[in-house]
Chains A and B, each alone.
Chain A
Amino acid sequence: MPMKDDYLWDGSGTPDPEVQGLESLLAEFRHTERPLTLPAETSLVSSKPPGLVVQFPWLPRLAAAAVILLASIILLFLPAIRVVPPPAGPGWDVANLEGSPQIGSESISANQSAAKLYVGQTLTTNSSSRVSLSEEDLGQIQIDPNSRVRLLQSGPSHKRLQLEVGTIHAAIWAPPGEFVVDTPSAIAVDLGCAYTLHVTPDGSGTIRTTLGWVGFHLNGRDSFIPAGAMCSTRPKVGPGTPYFEDASESFRDALHTFDHSEPGSDAASAALAAVLSQSRAKDGLTLWHLLSRTSGAERVEVYARFAALVPPPQGVAREGILRLDSHMLDLYWNALHLGDISIWRYWEQSSGPHPAPASKQLPTKKELLLRKNLAP
């Protein structure tokens, strides 16, 4: 390597005047460290079960050795066997945390901790097994016992999992909106970072968000669940009304009754009255959702209580909210400071289940960049 490249490599050797000139010229763009302001409420400690933070540095080598051994056995003893090629596309790493989970009908033994899950494959855990799924650009997902998940999509900006039954704990660092989980009664769209999703055998589901926020969607019915909140969902009905877990038991009971009662019935009206009377400013989360789940006089009551607890921001008018003006509802949501709703709107536009009509369905900027191979 010439001396000039040594200077380019590590600053040693004979200085290259051209490189030196560029260093000097470009110095104005150099990073100047600013103090990092950490939010007081953000915890550094994992809110995930400790099982997720597991280190197996020897796994890749062990997996490689296992693969070589297996290949040798097949070549030596079964020359006539028809070898089925592995599924195409990128696979997600599967780490066996406990027991004998299965990919398809194949068990992942305790020592085979670095298996892969490919698009189209199903991962199943029984009552005594747990696994961790990870993908470098996405994050990590722990799958609890008695769960069944299927990998539906693993593209560069769209990753999709189906949770048929069971529980997953997701810690996601991909950009908001890129990771979606299908359940029998709603789809969960990651808009932040960490949550737990549970699906029962009858298809009902519950989501608890620990960091960031998550969107729950079914047939035009949306619920946004920020950190500290939870939400249930039912088949054919979709997401219920989200609430903060520290709300009083009577508030939660009343909300449950409202969600499960016939709209406009006496039971629903009584439950709504109880919800409104017991709501705190923080429960603006619940009240914002109730605006679009009530009508007529009930919506007027919800708005009155909501506006008393959370003053409408600039650009929001009572009449607009009562007619469910989507722009005003978005402004009001943002005033709750629980997440920027433009992220969700972007997801709806570009990836949601009800994209714009064909005539208006234009490629997203990212798609354009990808077509040009210019996306970072």
Chain B
Amino acid sequence: MNSSPDDALVRAAQQGDRSAFGQLYSRYSRMVHGILLSRVPPSEVDDLVQDVFLQALPCLAALREVSKFPGWLASIARNRATDFHRRRKPHDEFSEGSANQESDPTSSAPPPHSSTEAHAALDAILSLPETYRETLILRLVEGMTGPEIAQRTGLTHGSVRVNLHRGMQQLREILARGAPLTGGEL
């Protein structure tokens, strides 16, 4: 089995090396940010990125195979996004309408200074099926390359290629129509 440079960082962090954990944060925070951005409102993402790493910190020592760190961290990020929706307004959430709203990460109002065009583009990506939206956000928003996305998320190169290609194809169709779809196409 090939050992990546990150494996050594993970091992060091497991032994209590905070500097190593800090390096892992630097290397993976972009991925975590992208995963969260594909699921929760943009205004919530920065705080949740910190939450994900703080949640991962005490559990890291229990990770048996260090090579699984990227996929493990991605799972924590996805779980955190699920938890965010679950815990948001826990007492007045039970309606179909609110469920639809919750499933749409763009439902929060954009900050007043942000570009309408940029939000429209983000909306278009977020209307794609989840698999495509996560990969496209990592590529188009976070600026990661396909190989980087594969390495960071634990997906195969082939899966990332397919997600990028098909996702971009659907995104082009949406943008050509001039209006983003509502809801996912799952």
Q: How far is the CB of A18 from chain B (nearest CB, A)?
A: 7
Q: Tell me which of B13, B18, B63 has the highest count of chain A C-beta atoms within 10 A of its own C-beta.
A: B63
Asked whether B26 lies within 8 Å of A26 as measured between CB atoms, the reply is no
Q: Given A18, A30, A345, which contacts B141 in the complex, CB threshold below 8 Å?
A: A30
The docked-state distance in angstroms from the alpha carbon of A73 to that of B148 is: 43
A298: Cβ under 8 A from any B Cβ: no
Q: Given B46, B60, B65, B81, which contacts A55 in the complex, CB threshold below 8 Å?
A: B65
Asked whether A173 lies within 8 Å of B59 as measured between CB atoms, the reply is yes
Asked whether B64 lies within 8 Å of A365 as measured between CB atoms, the reply is no
Residues in A with CB closer than 8 Å to B49 are 31, 34
Asked whether A55 lies within 8 Å of B66 as measured between CB atoms, the reply is yes
Asked whether B50 lies within 8 Å of A33 as measured between CB atoms, the reply is no
- Residue of B with least CB distance to A140: B62
The docked-state distance in angstroms from the alpha carbon of A365 to that of B103 is: 9
Residues in B with CB closer than 8 Å to A10 are 145-147
Q: In chain A, residues 144-197, which have Cβ atoms closer than 8 Å to a Cβ of chain B? A: 157, 171-176, 193-194
B17: Cβ under 8 A from any A Cβ: yes
Residues in A with CB closer than 8 Å to B143 are 23, 27, 30
Q: How far is the CB of A238 from chain B (nearest CB, A)?
A: 25
Residues in B with CB closer than 8 Å to A358 are none
Q: How would you classify the secondary structure of chain B's contact residues: helix, strand, loop or mixed?
A: helix
Asked whether A369 lies within 8 Å of B102 as measured between CB atoms, the reply is yes
Residues in A with CB closer than 8 Å to B22 are 36
Asked whether A368 lies within 8 Å of B14 as measured between CB atoms, the reply is no
Q: If the complex has contacts A26-B121, A37-B50, are A376 and B59 also in contact, measured as CB distance less than 8 A?
A: no
Q: If the complex has contacts A9-B146, A33-B26, A55-B64, are A22 and B121 also in contact, measured as CB distance less than 8 A?
A: yes
Segment at the interface with B among A44-52, A122-130, A272-280, A331-339: A44-52
- Residue of B with least CB distance to A56: B64
Residues of chain A at interface, number, CB under 8 A: 71
B112: Cβ under 8 A from any A Cβ: no
Q: How far is the CB of B109 from chain A (nearest CB, A)?
A: 15
Q: Contact flags (1/0) for A80-111 with B, using CB distance below 8 Å?
A: 00000000000000000000000000000000
Q: If the complex has contacts A23-B140, A176-B83, A343-B87, are A46 and B62 also in contact, measured as CB distance less than 8 A?
A: yes
The docked-state distance in angstroms from the alpha carbon of A176 to that of B96 is: 24
A362: Cβ under 8 A from any B Cβ: yes
Residues in B with CB closer than 8 Å to A221 are none
Residues in B with CB closer than 8 Å to A372 are 99, 103, 186
Segment at the interface with B among A131-139, A255-263, A303-311: A131-139
A374: Cβ under 8 A from any B Cβ: yes
A342: Cβ under 8 A from any B Cβ: yes
- Residue of B with least CB distance to A26: B141
* 21 A-B pairs with C-beta separation under 8 A: A8-B146, A18-B175, A26-B118, A26-B122, A29-B118, A31-B142, A38-B57, A52-B64, A55-B65, A139-B59, A140-B64, A171-B61, A173-B62, A173-B76, A175-B80, A346-B90, A369-B85, A369-B102, A374-B103, A374-B184, A376-B81
Binding site for A on B (CB under 8 A): 1, 13-18, 21-22, 25-26, 29-30, 33-34, 37, 39, 42, 46, 49-50, 53-67, 72, 75-76, 78-83, 85-88, 90, 93-94, 96, 98-99, 102-103, 114-115, 117-118, 121-122, 125, 130, 139-143, 145-147, 161, 164-165, 168, 171-172, 175, 183-184, 186
**Given A8-B168, A175-B83, 16 new contacts (CB under 8 A):** A1-B161, A25-B115, A33-B30, A36-B22, A38-B18, A42-B54, A44-B57, A45-B14, A52-B64, A57-B1, A139-B62, A140-B62, A175-B80, A363-B94, A372-B99, A373-B186
Binding site for B on A (CB under 8 A): 1, 5, 8-11, 18-19, 22-23, 25-34, 36-39, 42-48, 52-57, 132, 134, 136-137, 139-140, 157, 171-176, 193-194, 211-212, 342-343, 345-346, 349, 362-366, 368-369, 372-376
